[in-house]
A and B are shown apart, each in its own frame.
Chain A
């Protein structure tokens, strides 16, 4: 069952690190042409170098963009179609964690900043990519929600609101676009050891973040963090033709954590 992505064009946001990078690597191994989007141009070069190690012949387009800016989103979609002629699959993944604070202290500026990336950014991506997919008559989309999008975690008003919103967008758009041969799903990663999660742990205790991490995964049924590549396997499955009948649903990948509460 290798090479589920031969001849396929896959667009990935937040591709410079974490889940976006891990998914790019997995999908490139299986033959895809990649359009990789990130705010950080240097991180895109890093992902490209890693992709070429595992898939030396991969065609790769790099696009620096802020997903919170609709014009920039429109541009990354147009550039992808101009270069590759279609978009088979879209990993609508870019996101930020925001600061950790009680609701009363969270602050409107911080709230709006997190929502503008995690929710507006995902909406803009859907808006512009789904038009392309509806016209071509096929496509698959995976939005990155979070366990924080299906459960209360605490101290993350902006993240919780935006990720719950991503789940809602997934159900809503999935219902709309199923009839056009397009499937849309969300993933809800739990404790995956990405640079973003490392950042959150460092907010709690910069000097002892690894210890904080150990305590953090103690209640996890598997008693460990997930690896970005484990999410990459799920994303590859969901974006491939193997998962065309999976639509408008959210899929946790969390070592069982969300089933406890």
Chain B
């Protein structure tokens, strides 16, 4: 029996990267997954791929900065699977610009997706989980929710916001059996990191390599499963030791 047998998990940013790796692992542990993404083509293809493995999967196209579209994710999830046990609140964007050249529009867009979007998904998740009597939410923050870096003011500010949003809603709903934790990845080997930067970033990481999306998925599985039943409010750094330096 899998660690998530018959659980229903909503995964935003679920069509690629850490979200997709997590969907694969969740399915292998017995979960039914709702894949949320802006990219309909990738999302539908991934839905078909999981269904071909006999998994229960549903793709829902949504922009997490829209209240209506976020509400629709949960309406469709309840319609199809009847409940929501787990939400992996993972969709995000990041761009690099020196702060003095950062357009206000770009700042607002980054914070809108990375912080407002996480709030909107968490709020809707909590509404469903309060009805159901509990659940687990895992937000994707970043090690840049803990430490700073040049050129990423908007992203880092939003991720720092996610870390303290996680603590705050964890405390608010601990008694209602809703656990809220965050994943804080370090440098992960995904297409977001340019090929020419990979060696230097691996060298800057104490374990001397980049993390893999599959390793992030394993940490998300732990935080989403009953194995972490006494943990809430935690922002788990999975960064090879980078932020301990």
- Interface residues, chain A, with chain B CB atoms under 8 Å away: 1, 171, 174-175, 178-179, 181, 183, 192, 221-223, 226-227, 230-231, 233-234, 236-237, 242-249, 251-256, 258-260
Q: A254 touching B171 by the CB < 8 A rule? A: no
Q: Would A178 and B207 count as touching, CB distance under 8 A?
A: yes
Rounded to whole Å, the gap between the CB of A202 and the closest CB of chain B is 23
Contact partner of B244 (CB less than 8 A), chosen from A222, A230, A249, is A249
Most buried by A among B218, B231, B237, B238: B231
**Bound form: Cα–Cα A248–B206 in Å:** 9
Say yes or no for B13: interface residue by CB 8 A criterion: no
A178 to B211, CA, bound (A): 13
Bound-state CA distance A192–B29 (Å) is 28
Contact of B236 with A255 in the complex, beta carbons under 8 Å: no
If A178-B208, A231-B230, A248-B206 are given as contacts, then 5 extra A-B residue pairs at C-beta distance below 8 Å, sorted by A number, are A221-B174, A245-B186, A246-B237, A255-B231, A259-B234
Looking at the complex, which one of B167, B207, B228, B230 makes contact with A259 (CB distance below 8 Å)? B167
A242 to B230, CA, bound (A): 19
B39 interface contact, C-beta 8 A? no
Q: Are A246 and B236 in touch, CB under 8 angstroms? A: yes
Q: How far is the CB of A168 from chain B (nearest CB, A)?
A: 10
* Residue numbers in B under 8 Å from A259 (CB-CB): 167, 170-171, 233-234
The smallest C-beta distance from A237 to any residue of chain B, in angstroms, reads 5
Of all A-B residue pairs in the complex, the 8 with the closest CB atoms, nearest first, are: A248-B244, A221-B174, A248-B241, A178-B206, A259-B233, A247-B241, A178-B207, A226-B230
Q: Is the CB of B175 within 8 A of A221?
A: yes
Which of A181, A234, A248 is most buried by chain B, counting CB atoms within 10 A of its CB?
A248
The chain A residue sitting closest to B211, CB to CB, is: A245
Task: Say yes or no: A1-B2 contact (C-beta < 8 A), given A233-B227, A251-B234.
Answer: yes
- Decide if B219 touches A174 in the complex (CB within 8 Å): no
Interface residues of B (CB under 8 A from A): 2-3, 29, 167, 170-171, 174-175, 186, 205-208, 211-212, 215, 218-219, 221-222, 227-234, 236-241, 243-245
A/B interface sample: 11 pairs, CB < 8 A: A174-B241, A175-B244, A221-B175, A233-B227, A233-B229, A243-B238, A244-B207, A252-B234, A256-B171, A259-B233, A260-B171
Given A221-B171, A245-B215, A256-B170, the answer on whether A178 and B232 have CB atoms closer than 8 Å is no
Q: In the complex, are the beta carbons of B206 and A255 less than 8 A apart?
A: no
Minimum C-beta distance from A142 to chain B (A): 14
Q: Which B residue's beta carbon lies closest to that of A247?
A: B241
In the bound complex, CA of A253 to CA of B230 (Å): 6
In the assembled complex, the CB of B53 is this many whole angstroms from the nearest CB of chain A, namely 17
A36 to B167, CA, bound (A): 36
Q: What's the nearest-Cβ distance from chain A to residue B136, in Å? A: 13
Contact (Cβ within 8 A) B232 A243:
no
Q: Report A-chain residues with C-beta under 8 Å of the C-beta of B241.
A: 171, 174-175, 178, 183, 247-249
CB distance from B25 to the nearest CB of A (A): 9
Give chain B residues whose Cβ lies under 8 Å from the Cβ of A245: 186, 207, 211-212, 215, 238-240
The answer to whether A256 touches B174 (Cβ under 8 A) is yes
Contact of B211 with A255 in the complex, beta carbons under 8 Å = no
CA distance A233 to B223 in the complex (A): 11
Contacts A222-B174, A222-B175, A237-B227 known; A1 to B244 CB distance under 8 Å?
A: no
B208→A243 contact, CB < 8 A:
no
